[in-house]
């Protein structure tokens, strides 16, 4: 039995923090880029949606007359006993509960992201930038810290002590 992963698209976008930098369209494109090459089905609410789109192994479903949650539930019902092969990725507790009642498994967005190779999301990039900024020092700051914390080895004089006999 092959496990299928279905993703509540905008829920994962929110979890990844992709809407912090740009439009929803660019956030969706960025997330789909991060997920490309993986065998997944991703659902999006879309008033102007069309037929499912296939990008390699990635299947993208844009809903029209219903929201993504309703479409996910409808697709699960259509599978019947095959729902046991589906794991839904969402942080939406109500949707997760409905899908579990139909026999599908559930995982949170955090657990899903943790199971993937490192994804660079805007939140990750902000943390890395903050870490780099905190770790950056000018040469003079570094020299000053070295001078302050420099401890002489046994038998050596501190660099701030003038040469001569030790007291």
113 or 166, which is more confident: 113
Residues of 23-55 as b/e, b for ≥16 C-beta within 10 angstroms? eeeebbebbbebbeeeebbbbbbbeebeeeeee
The per-residue pLDDT for range 12-44, each reduced to its tens digit, is 999 988 888 778 888 888 888 888 888 899 999
Residue 132 clears pLDDT 50, i.e. is over it: no
Residue 144 clears pLDDT 80, i.e. is over it: no
Closest CA to 8 of 58, 86, 69: 69
Q: How many CB atoms lie within 10 A of CB 165?
A: 5
Residue 129 clears pLDDT 60, i.e. is over it: no
Mean pLDDT of 3-17: 91
The per-residue pLDDT for range 58-89, each reduced to its tens digit, is 899 988 888 999 999 999 999 887 778 999 99
Q: pLDDT band at 164, cuts 50/70/90?
A: low
Write down the pLDDT at residue 71.
93
Tokens 């993703």, residue located: 7
8 or 122, which is more confident: 8
Q: What is the C-alpha to C-alpha distance for residues 4 and 73, in angstroms, rounded to an integer?
A: 15
Domains of the chain (ranges plus CATH)? 4-116 (3.40.50)
1 or 36, which is more confident: 36
Q: What is the C-alpha to C-alpha distance for residues 69 and 111, in angstroms, rounded to an integer?
A: 20
32 or 128, which is more confident: 32
134 or 147, which is more confident: 147
Q: Give pTM, 2 decimals.
A: 0.67
């Amino acid at each position: 039995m092959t496990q299928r992963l279905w993703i509540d698209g905008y829920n994962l976008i929110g979890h990844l923090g992709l809407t912090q930098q740009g439009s929803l369209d660019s956030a969706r494109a960025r997330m789909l880029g991060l997920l490309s090459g993986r065998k997944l089905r991703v659902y999006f609410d879309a008033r102007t949606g069309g037929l499912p789109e296939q990008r390699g192994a990635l299947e993208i479903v844009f809903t029209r007359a219903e929201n993504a949650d309703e479409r996910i539930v409808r697709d699960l019902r259509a599978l019947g006993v095959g729902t046991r092969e589906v794991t839904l990725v969402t942080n939406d507790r109500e949707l997760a509960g409905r899908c579990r009642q139909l026999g599908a498994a559930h995982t949170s967005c955090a657990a899903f992201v943790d199971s993937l190779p490192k994804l660079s999301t805007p939140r990750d990039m902000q943390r890395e930038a903050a870490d780099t900024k905190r770790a950056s020092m000018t040469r003079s700051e570094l020299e000053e810290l070295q001078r302050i914390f420099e401890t002489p080895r046994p038998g050596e004089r501190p660099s701030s002590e003038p040469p001569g006999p030790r007291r």
